[in-house]
Amino acid sequence: MLLDNIKNEFPTLKNNPDLVYFDSAASTQTHQSVLDRMTEYYEQERCNVHRGDFHISKKVTDDCETARTQVAELLNAKTDKVMFTSGATEGLNMVAHWHKNAPVVIISEAEHTANILPWLAQGRTVENGRLIVLPVNEAGYINPDQAVEVFKKFPYAFCSFASTSNVLGVTNELKRILHSAHDNGIKVCLDACQTLSSHQIDASNLFPDYVVGGGHKMFGPTGIGFLYSRLGFDIHGPYRLGGGTVNTYNFSGNVEFYEGPLKHESGTPNIAGILGLGVAAEWINYVGYDAIGESLKDIEYWLSEAGLFDIPYLKLVNRRGVFSDCRNVFSFTTDKFHPSDISAFLGLDNVAVRVGKVCAHPIVNKVSDGKGIFRVSTHIYNTKEDCEKLVESIWKAIKKLS
């Protein structure tokens, strides 16, 4: 396999060799190159940006703009269409704020909380017709045919949905959905958090109006993310007000904002996080999505060989999605045991999984009758031995609970 021995490039796994980490849907591990760049900033270049005429301030300012370019290149987008945020949650809240006057908003039932609550806060509900919720089929996808019919019924609505569900683990048929939305005058925001570490989002091909992503789910730092806007940022009023966003202003209310993404990046930014995010995006491009996909397919095969999908007490949600794509999220329902009890015993074995409603309450409640799920999420650093240890620990927990 192309990515053999890559586990040692992720410090937490290297420094905790007994840790078996299957919680990448919550947070991927951070690559060593990302940490190296962030440490270099704190140890050798600690300063503020966009403000100083001295050497390290100019250099780090330039490096932050290089990071913007690195993220843009990952999306095959123009640099001035990318702004930095504190994470995908802030990006989704910004998009919701900018489109608060949309007559109708269309989401899916498999959305993360961050793409539901901002819309509910605007007083939108399915009952008052201002919120339309697309169902997902048994395989875990939004049915494109059904989406097209909804788009025809609600032209000029706004649509925001996850390109890949953090519960169902499959990636939607994005091109057809987006193009159909645009045919009906509907702008689209993609929550790409669960996608970008394994599937390319090509903005020049898909033409999403917005894309949000978070560093901690793409081998980068926590507390940093980005928002891509196809039409740029000058058309929107600033989401936050503060220093670093204006050319000039006075007490008479005359304010001249910067153009482009800087208009919205108020205050001192998460400089180390920005630098780390840029390196993470560049590293994904360096490894390549083809190699990542092949690695994930190998890991899924190892899980199957180890018997994960044959444990009678775990029922895989949307089984038909297995092996159909380079998938790295596998959610199970449990009838006899509570998922939290199994997870607790796995934790004693230093095996990390995730249980509960995983910030996606509607879809989890639907598939588990409110009980919560048992989620195994892989990534390129998982090994065959990890897969075997996971299944061994699950069986050990089941025997203790029986």
Q: How far apart are CA 86 and CA 88, in angstroms?
A: 7
Report the DSSP beta bridge partners of residue 21: 352
Token look-up 């649509």 returns 159
Give me the residues paired with residue 160 across strands.
189
Are 378 and 292 spatial neighbours (Cβ–Cβ below 8 Å)? no
How far CA 299 is from CA of 33, 74, 97, 191, 322, in Å, comes to 24, 24, 40, 25, 12
CA torsion sign for 96, 212, 194, 93 is negative
Q: In 3D, which of 71, 92, 89, 88 has the Cα closest to residue 80?
A: 71
Strand, coil or helix: 334: strand
Amino acid at 174: L
CA distance 239 to 70: 24
Cα separation, 231 vs 99, in Å, equals 14
Q: Which tokens go with 285?
A: 């491009």
Rounded Cα distance, 361 and 335, in Å: 19
Which residues are catalytically annotated? 359
Contact 299, 378 (CB under 8 A): yes
> 289-306 and 384-401 helices cross at what angle (nearest 10)?
40
DSSP state of 336: S
In degrees, rounded to 5, the angle at the alpha carbon of residue 69 between the alpha carbons of residues 66 and 71 is: 115
Contact 377, 330 (CB under 8 A): yes
Where does residue 3 rank: exposed (0-12), middle (13-18), buried (19+ CB within 10 A)? middle
Read off the amino acid at residue 150: V
Nearest CA among 375, 371, 355 for reference residue 303: 375
- Mapped to the 3 state alphabet, what secondary structure does 67-93 carry? HHHHHHHHHCCCHHHEEEECCHHHHHH
DSSP classification of residue 369:
T
